[in-house]
Structure 1
Amino acid sequence: MLCVIGGACSGRRALVAERYPRAVWHRLGPGESPAALAGRQSSGGVLVVTGWADWLKALLAATADDETVRAAWRDQLVALGDAERQAGGEALLILDEMGSGIVPMAADDRRLRDLNGWLAQEVAARSRSVWQVRHGLCKQSK
């Protein structure tokens, strides 16, 4: 698994498109299973998965308990990793960085940012490489 994280309009997609021009791209829809996407990548290919913030927002709307949300995405990441190994390819997750901005007043918005941060930590821990993109500049952390 690979991870690219950065804020809106930071250059994440351009970086991935340049480094992986033959990648298959998919934007997660609300309620969609990330683990089910592994069949979309060709053998040895890269599957780029975007839309994590909207996916997480829908999951939060459906689930009141944060630990249940975290368990759900852990299960999805494990299944995605297993499918990735079976396919002989690699999943590249493009995540949104939300924690560097203004802290929102609304509790639901703060919850989204907190859980997005935990999701990013979980993905980074499972990834063999992590790139942080800011202002079009890329820094590899792992």
Structure 2
Amino acid sequence: MHVFIGGTASGKRQRVAERYPEARWRDADEMMRRVPGAGAGPAIDDGDTLVISGWLAWLEAELENELENQRENESASADDDRLGRRWREAFTGWASSPGRRVLVLDEVGRGIVPVDPAQRRLRDLMGWLSQDAVRLASQVHYVRHGLTMRLDGKEATAAGRAD
């Protein structure tokens, strides 16, 4: 699995398209529906190179669904754990698949911390999702201002999950 991470309009998509011109692009929502136990959609060719983007939008939609279907007696942390298990299961499967999986992730941890608790939670979840993806990735590239920097996997995973 290969991860490209950077802020909005940083040049991630362009760098991925240059590196993987043969890739088919898929939305995170579509791919997460294909994870076993999630009402999996049609199978995909495991030999394909798939670029999976739209992770922030997927998280926003999941949180919106959670609000609409609020579970009594369950905390946000229980829901966060449930979401985390879902993406970790997907990442683990993709990291070991014969096809190439490229994740395009939005870095949202810089800048002003939102006052709204829901927005802070979204940022936290995106950060945890990114950390889990990086831990399983064989390569990680950070993109900023169109410049790409490879991050060494040993350094990227040695720090562990900082909460």
Normalising TM by the smaller chain, what interval? 0.7 to 0.9
Which digits, 9 at most, give the CA deviation of each residue in 1:64-106, with x for residues without a partner? 3322221222122223334xx2xx2110000000001211110
Which digits, 9 at most, give the CA deviation of each residue in 1:30-86, with x for residues without a partner? 79425358943462x31000111011112223343322221222122223334xx2x
Structure-1 separation of matches of 2:8 and 2:100: 24
CA RMSD of the aligned region, Å?
Answer: 2.2
Structure-2 separation of matches of 1:129 and 1:37: 28
- Other-structure match for 1:28: 28
Structure-1 separation of matches of 2:143 and 2:41: 25
- Whose radius of gyration is greater, 1 or 2? 2
The alignment's TM-score, normalised by the length of structure 1, stands at: 0.85
Instruction: Report the count of equivalent residues.
Output: 137
Pairing of 1:57-76 with structure 2 (within 5 A): 57-63=60-66, 64=76, 65-76=79-90
- Other-structure match for 1:46: 49
* Structure 2 unaligned spans of 5+: 67-75, 153-163
